[in-house]
Amino acid sequence: MSVRRGRAVLARLAAELTRDPSGDNGLPPVDQIRRHSRILLVGDFLRPVDEIAPIVRGYAVQGITGHIVQVNDPAEEILPFFGRARFEGLEGEGNALIGRVEAVRDEYTALLAAHRGALADLCRSGGWTFTVNRTDHPAESAMLMLHSLLSETERS
């Protein structure tokens, strides 16, 4: 969706946010964004980093800078469950049945930390920034931080 002004913007934005992205990654193609633009990507970013990397690098090569905000629920971060649990993917990933969740918690949190580290490294290598926001924290703090980052980039 290209940047527009006027009354129809809200309707276009709503249509874009609710469209079925089947078959695409939900991100605007590089050729639809002007060179040297700034973009903000918000999501859980739990896909493998090697699927995200070509997208970020493709934008960066075009001089497009960006900010990734990974938004997660506390349960996604600390895996607070015990015993047998079935996890159902909401984006076609399938299901996972874990016999004793507490037995995999430490490995899971280590993998999540490594994943975030890889995302942060990817962003840094492309001149982007990366932050995390949890759903149990106020969105205002993330918005203030993003405002600061965007203002900084604008002054540079």
Sheet bearing 65-72, strands edge to edge: 38-43, 65-72, 129-134
Cα angle value 113/116/119 (rounded, 5°): 155
* Helix ranges (DSSP H) in the chain: 9-18, 49-61, 74-78, 101-125, 139-155
Report pTM: 0.75
Provide the CB-side half-sphere exposure for 14 (13 A, CA).
Answer: 5
How many angstroms separate the CA atoms of 52 and 64, rounded? Answer: 15
CB atoms within 10 A of CB 86: 8
Q: Tell me: pLDDT of 49 over 80.
A: yes
Q: pLDDT per residue over 94-107, tens digit each?
A: 888 999 999 999 99
* pLDDT attached to residue 22: 45
pLDDT at residue 4 is higher than 70: no
pLDDT per residue as tens digits for the range 108-127? 999 999 999 999 999 999 99
